[in-house]
Amino acid sequence: MSQNKELLKIKNLKQYFPIKGGVFGRTVNHVKAVDDISFTIYEGETVSLVGESGCGKSTTGRAILRLDDPTAGEVEFDNTDLLSLNKKEMRQMRKDLQIIFQDPYASLNPRMTVRQSLNEAMEIQNVVPQDQRNDRIAELMETVGLQPHQADRFPHEFSGGQRQRIGIARALSVNPKLIVCDEAVSALDVSIQAQVLNLLKKFQEEMNLTYLFIAHDLGVVRHISDRIIVMYLGKIVEMGDTKSIFENPQHPYTKALLSAIPVPDPEKKIDRIFLQGDVPSPMDPPQGCRFHTRCPFATEKCAQEAPELREEDYMENGHVAACHYMKDIETGAHQPTKDTTSVRA
Amino acid sequence: MSQETILEVKDLRTSFFVEGNEVKAVDGVTFDVPKGKTLGIVGESGSGKSISALSILQLIDSPGKIVGGEINFKGDNLLKYNDNQMRKIRGNQISMIFQEPMTSLNPVYTVGQQLREALKIHRGLGKEAGTEKAVELLELVGIPSPRSRVTQYPFELSGGMRQRVMIAMALACDPELLVADEPTTALDVTIQAQILELLKELQDEFHMSIIMITHDLGVVAETCDYVAVMYCGKVVEYADVNTLFKNPRHPYTVGLLNSLPRSDVDQEELEPIKGTVPAPHEMPKGCRFAPRCPFATDLCHEKLPALEDIGEEEQIRCWIYTDEWDGDPEVKVYEPEQRTSED
């Protein structure tokens, strides 16, 4: 993948949301939803952002499209600095940057037929001449596995899976380069989810699309991604190739996350790592390593110093993790300081 | 069945009457829950799995109605019970936990007050004794500093904590049967692991039987002893968990397993089930799965197969396994090499 060109470059991205309070509605604090993250996506690949609720994965997706304006940092897409664009320029840019949301029912206008919705997207971006739009709509409907005559129906006349296909058709209608899929298949039943995942893969091959996939289902993530970025409380804790992450996770959080997935094979025994407690509030994230409050390996150093993303000599090229002790944990020199086998405090 | 059964559901039918139409949400469901074991009910949205669970406790509101069948709990048919008798069963011998702990906890009462309610009704415990028992229960489900938690309101707790409170509440009267309706679906995966393990430990401690309703085959594989697979209001396959995953027989079960993206092995491609679940008002007259089934014959489209015993503890609703089968006699519904694991 590395020989491909860099399509999206995120540098030191921060997204803080103010919390207003008091009599005068002053900003009393910030939710640090995304706190200084950097990564690059190459053309034609699928990168997944994973993590639990509140880790900042969706916020990152929205910040890239400037659906929320980031607090600080750089977002470079196809050699253009997105954050320096004005509203009009940004709107034109969105022709290349599309998003598919989790709930297609909420993101499709209920008063517009599918034809009107698709037409609107093409009109705003002016990608297809008006007299050819109906042909293009018919083609899009067929591409996503729907009948062209269904284009005159309203969103409520479709099932959940079909609506998600319409969401995909709308994203594809403007021939984008990058699609952010924000939990795009999470709401679907597994048999329908597989249909949509296969469809997304097919389009990627046919149109050289690049996906930023935001998901919490690690089965889906393993299936669709080339690379994975693991986030925890607004920070990247680990990133690398899908195979490398799943087979050789380095960060204690990634290990716990992967071990927590229920495996559909009753004969397979997993050594599960149970994390104590819940994710702390992003309003007041822990000092030092953000994971230290729940990490079974945490020491005094973890509470003081925030670890940087780095690579150890035994790790695969491009696989990085942010943990002070990952090498010592790997060799067994550093043992857990907390019990991870019990679920009762 | 060789083992003792605690609950026996026979030909249960629950319908919803909307605008003069009858929607058969649960259409002749039959299964047994062995004592001290976990039965998983798995299926996709609209398969009737939640309605089956609610029917067991008779929590079906108008326009829904249980129109037929038997629910035999320790030999007694619960459908013959009146409201009063049923109230003595609910939360006492059979209790339930729901998917969304925030909507099933009352936001204006403290955790302690809500825990005491069941104890007062079923055990006659007063305020002090109730509080003591509440603290004990919270400790049992692994809530840190339980004594200060009893005075808190649900909004002060995280999602995982709320689900623990729900479990504590369900356990308050040492139920013999716990019905868990998607208990971890709304939770993050690390929290889900905690809750599932907790349920397992509590089951061992109290010898409860559990009905686990879920759409997640991973959860089924990890927590259940027996599994009933539901499709369109009917059970299509019932088997012990090892058999179901190793040798699934119904084409729908096979389809589910083949469309599942897995985190533990590399897969080339997913094989989705084609088409979608039929709408309730346009149910096919033959096998409900026939329009989506790759093996369907004329027989399947014409006539509904019955749920038949094959082997000791297995039941299947599919023409392929009957003498009447008119398709390829050598048909292979499941080919294990499709999902062999690499490690």
Contact B141 A191 (CB under 8 A): no
Q: What are A40's strand-pairing partners?
A: A9
The closest CB to that of A261, out of B159, B189, B269, belongs to B189
Integer Cα distance of B24 and B289 in angstroms? 16
Residue A343, pLDDT > 90, answer no
This model of the complex carries an ipTM of: 0.86
Contact at 8 Å (CB) between A213 and A49? yes
Contact B190 A261 (CB under 8 A): no
Q: Which residue of B has its CA nearest to A242?
A: B266
User: Residue A47 corresponds to which tokens in the numbers above?
Assistant: 């990168």
What confidence score (pLDDT) does residue A345 get?
A: 58
The pTM of this model reads: 0.89
Residue A344, pLDDT > 80, answer no
Fill in the DSSP letter of residue A310.
Answer: B
Integer Cα distance of A7 and A44 in angstroms? 9
Q: Which residue of B has its CA nearest to A255?
A: B190
Fill in the DSSP letter of residue B73.
Answer: E
On chain B, the residues whose CB falls within 8 A of the CB of A268 are 264, 341
What phi, psi does A192 have (nearest 5°)?
-80, -40
**Nearby residues of A25 by Cβ (< 8 Å), 6 or more positions away:** none
Q: What are B40's strand-pairing partners?
A: B212, B227
Integer Cα distance of A45 and A2 in angstroms? 10
Q: Which residue of B has its CA nearest to A243?
A: B266
Residue B82, pLDDT > 50, answer yes
Please, which pLDDT band fits residue B342 given cuts at 50, 70 and 90? very low
Radius of gyration of chain A measured on its C-alpha atoms? 22
What confidence score (pLDDT) does residue B341 get?
A: 45
User: Residue B159 corresponds to which tokens in the numbers above?
Assistant: 């999602």
Which residues in A168-192 are b (16+ Cβ under 10 Å) and which e?
Answer: bbbbbbbebbbbbbbbbbebbbbbb
Integer Cα distance of B304 and A145 in angstroms? 29
Q: What percent of chain A has pLDDT over 90?
A: 61
Dihedral of the alpha carbons of B48, B54, B60, B66, in degrees to the nearest 10: 70
Contact at 8 Å (CB) between B334 and B247? yes
What confidence score (pLDDT) does residue B1 get?
A: 46
What confidence score (pLDDT) does residue A281 get?
A: 84
The answer to whether A40 faces chain B, any CB pair under 8 Å, is no
Among A180, A166, A172, residue whose Cα is nearest residue A107:
A166
Q: Which amino acid is at A207?
A: M
The answer to whether A190 faces chain B, any CB pair under 8 Å, is yes
Give me chain A's average pLDDT, please.
Answer: 90
The closest CB to that of B263, out of A192, A197, A219, belongs to A219
Residue B265, pLDDT > 90, answer no
Contact B218 A222 (CB under 8 A): no
Integer Cα distance of B199 and B160 in angstroms? 13
DSSP conformation letters of B268-280: S---PPPS-PPPG
Residue A311, pLDDT > 60, answer yes
pLDDT, tens digit (0-9, with 9 covering 90-100), for A155-202: 988 888 888 889 999 999 998 999 999 988 888 888 888 988 998 999
Q: Which one has a higher pLDDT value, B210 or B266?
A: B210
Q: Which residue of A has its CA nearest to B193?
A: A260
Q: What angle do CA A93, A95, A98 make, to 5 degrees?
A: 105
Q: What angle do CA A87, A88, A89 make, to 5 degrees?
A: 95
**In Å, how far is B319's CA from the nearest CA of chain A?**
22
Residue B199, pLDDT > 80, answer yes
Q: Which amino acid is at B269?
A: E
Please, which pLDDT band fits residue A3 given cuts at 50, 70 and 90? low
Q: Which amino acid is at A238?
A: E
Q: Which amino acid is at B17?
A: F
The domain locations on chain B are: 103-172, 248-338
Q: Which one has a higher pLDDT value, B295 or B339?
A: B295
Radius of gyration of chain B measured on its C-alpha atoms? 21
Residue with tokens 């110093």: A305
* Other residues' Cβ atoms within 10 Å of the Cβ of residue B317: 25
Q: CA neighbours within 13 Å on the CB side: how many for B99?
A: 11
Residue of A189, A193, A224, A259 to mutate for B, most B C-beta atoms under 10 A: A189
**Nearby residues of B241 by Cβ (< 8 Å), 6 or more positions away:** A266, B40, B220, B221, B224, B225, B226, B227
**In Å, how far is A305's CA from the nearest CA of chain B?**
25
Fill in the DSSP letter of residue B1.
Answer: -
